[in-house]
Structure 1
């Protein structure tokens, strides 16, 4: 097949270009609307601006593509630069959506290089090499976008939508690379014919991959919104800890997994001492500060696999899989001491509070043999917490189950009941 047979006629080319323009216009409006609807989600506004810049650059460059003269060629380079900045903003928006920070100065550097180099090629009478250079630079930006999506999927948060974004970015990179290769290997053919051939291929790639990219962007925002709504449903808004619903969903899976993996489990019940007195004396806003202070300490102390929840009022719960009795004791006492020594800034003075902790524990064999389950451990921890309160507060108490007794833990740390197992 001869290369000329791959060229689109003017009606087909401009028809596809018009469809591409309409697609970008609709996408920009849709993304700006999403940015207003989900203001806490970074990314949609970047993508909306990117679509506007790509559309503007395409119109400016396309209108000057067949013209000669200094002004026409300058506008052509400027249009290419706008498209380059737009594509770079798509990449930066993807990074921001994924939680990355930092300055987007790299976009300014890349655009400045392209603008200076492009004008230099045009001034030297090498318009073809200007277009080759633009293709190479934009290919690099699309590869950067693909790399950003791959880095997300290479981590712990694999998501198929990011895989789709990576494939779309690679498709765009292939299209721009093909354009550059066709231009670079054109030999002595007419420049306008070669550019038209290369741009026809680029438009076909662009319509398919850009349409897919926009759909994926919208799906990503919807997915993020669903995540936020779910987080609101399972988390306590005051402390950020799981609420009872979130606790039950997480611990149900955790208990089953621990039994399957042969892991022991410790459950800690935490209750702030004299919390009602804090509210009555200092006001509920200070009580909220105390609750958040304990929650922040627990969140920082726990491992990623641990589950932390606020079960109501001043009562919290921690579930520690893969933790033995000495480990649970060290963790609980360190948390208790940290809270005891913490000075909470109330805005008028500093307040210190204490916490009582009850611990229930089951060995891996007890879980696997059905001699204990999560409900048992919660009841044990609650009973141990009651004993810690009765013993004077600001202390840790273990429920005296068979598993705890067999660990030879200091008997002073036992709850009074010895009937658990």
Structure 2
């Protein structure tokens, strides 16, 4: 059964129109996800280019003929730009312009100036294959599930359509020049176009999957982290602590907990307002994030109270870190509406060697030591083990 090439290309244009509509709709409701608008624009350009090419007429003026590869090439570039933006990189729009101009120059030069349809199709297939291969390479990132699966599917889809483009170029190269036409039927050309269309559909669906999983991850982070300070909230902290405590039981490594509280925090709120208090908490959280390790856990445990879980650290080591934080915070000057905010903090420390590998017991012991530090005059660090030493 012979497959009509024009019909297949109309199917390709329909897939791109569907992709453009989906991406445009998503962009209106998920404007915090970068790259979606570029994908919508890229699919739209590819739809216009492919659909218009099926309606080609030799009577059309040259400027219209030149617009078709320009728009199509820019569409390829916008897809690449969308991946760059989605990955948090800066969009290089010159890539879209370069691909569009390159495809235009190739098409006009080889089809009009040289009257060499074979070389034109060969050059454009190679260019498309290179762009899709670059898209696939930019999707090979180290990330966590479920984004890892979505990235893998998208990379595989782009890799497959790049392979189809390169195989189509090879087929064009091996086909005699007299058998080359834009809508040549043959036995192989329609197969390449159908496989390319299926790959295009897979690309669209995988990009939607990427957006969906990114939104799920963002929602999970919003539910797991304090929006003011960027520290874990109490629920996420307890989940992470349970995992680290279970590992500590298996390996025998110690864990320590530091409870930190801003001294006389209510005075800051009462005198300067709650926005000033928020700034104090943000600056303290920034300081804590800077001094702890990536494997440690920091949480805003409540109000002006922060909790740090230190992996592989005994009480004395945790106390040294708490003392360092206390000194750094005491030197911190916070500019606030022509005033300088200064305050101190108190801290309590405990570890699993003296309390046991139980989160409630560890936090309770560190909290007891914290209140002991406050009762002793504040602006100091107290150890849980010292509370049980005879006077």
Matched, 1:149 2:134: no
- Map 1:207-226 to 2 at 5 A: 207-226=197-216
Corresponding residue of 1:53: 45
Does the Cα contact within 8 Å between 2:233 and 2:301 map onto a contact in 1? yes
Secondary structure at the aligned position of 1:360 is classed as strand
Q: Is 1:62 matched with 2:47?
A: no
State the 1:195 CA deviation.
Answer: 4.5
Is the contact made by 2:80 and 2:135 (CA closer than 8 Å) also made in structure 1? yes
1:182 is aligned to 2:171 = yes
Q: 1:292 to 1:261 in 2, by over 3 A?
A: same
Once residues 145 and 282 of structure 1 are traced to their aligned partners in structure 2, the CA distance between those partners, rounded to angstroms, is 52
User: Relative to 1, partners in 2 of residues 1:257 and 1:96: Cα closer, same or farther, differing over 3 Å?
Assistant: farther
Contact 1:169-1:209 within 8 A present in 2 as well: yes
Within the alignment, does 1:389 sit opposite 2:389 as a pair?
Answer: no
Between stretches 242-251 and 159-168, larger displacement belongs to 242-251
Q: Provide closer, same or farther for how the CA distance between residues 254 and 34 of structure 1 changes in structure 2, counting only shifts above 3 A.
A: same
- CA 1:104–1:251: 2 relative to 1, 3 Å: farther
1:179 touches 1:201 (CA, 8 Å); kept in 2? no
Per-residue Cα deviation, 1:50-93 (whole angstroms, up to 9, x for no partner): 110110111223322xx557846x64553233222212222221
State the Cα RMSD in Å: 2.4
Residue aligned with 1:266, SS: strand
Contact in 2 for aligned 1:183/1:194 (Cα 8 Å): no
Of the structure 1 ranges 135-144 and 79-88, higher mean CA displacement relative to structure 2 is found in 79-88
Q: C-alpha displacement at 1:258, in angstroms?
A: 2.8
Could you tell me which of 297, 313, 321 is aligned with 1:307? Answer: 297
| Cα distance between partner residues in 1 of 2:328 and 2:32 | 33
Query: How is 1:101-250 mapped onto 2 (pairs within 5 angstroms)?
Result: 101-122=90-111, 123-150=113-140, 152-153=141-142, 159-192=148-181, 195-197=184-186, 200-250=190-240
Indicate the larger mover: 162-171 or 120-129: 120-129
Q: Structure 1 residues 43, 260: CA separation in 2 closer, same or farther (over 3 Å shift)?
A: farther
Number of aligned residues: 387
> What displacement does 1:380 show?
1.4
Deviation at 1:44, TM superposition (A): 1.5
Partner of 2:22: 30
The offset of 1:110, in angstroms, is 3.1
Q: Which residue of 1 aligns with 2:363?
A: 378
Pairwise CA distance, 1:256:
1.1
TM-score, normalisation: structure 2: 0.91
Taking the aligned partners of 2:175 and 2:362, their CA distance within structure 1 comes to 75
Aligned to 2:3: 9
CA distance in 2, matches of 1:186, 1:78: 28
Structure 2's unaligned 5+ residue stretches are none
Check the 8 A contact 1:61/1:78 in 2, yes or no.
no
Cα displacement string for residues 353-398 of structure 1 (whole angstroms, at most 9, x for unaligned residues)? 11111111124xx79xxx4322221111111111111222112222
Deviation at residue 41 of structure 1 after TM alignment: 0.7
Q: CA deviation at 1:276?
A: 0.7
Quote the residue 2:272 is aligned against. 282
- The alignment status of 1:317 with 2:311, answered yes or no, reads no
Instruction: For residue 216 of structure 1, report the CA deviation from its aligned partner.
Output: 1.5
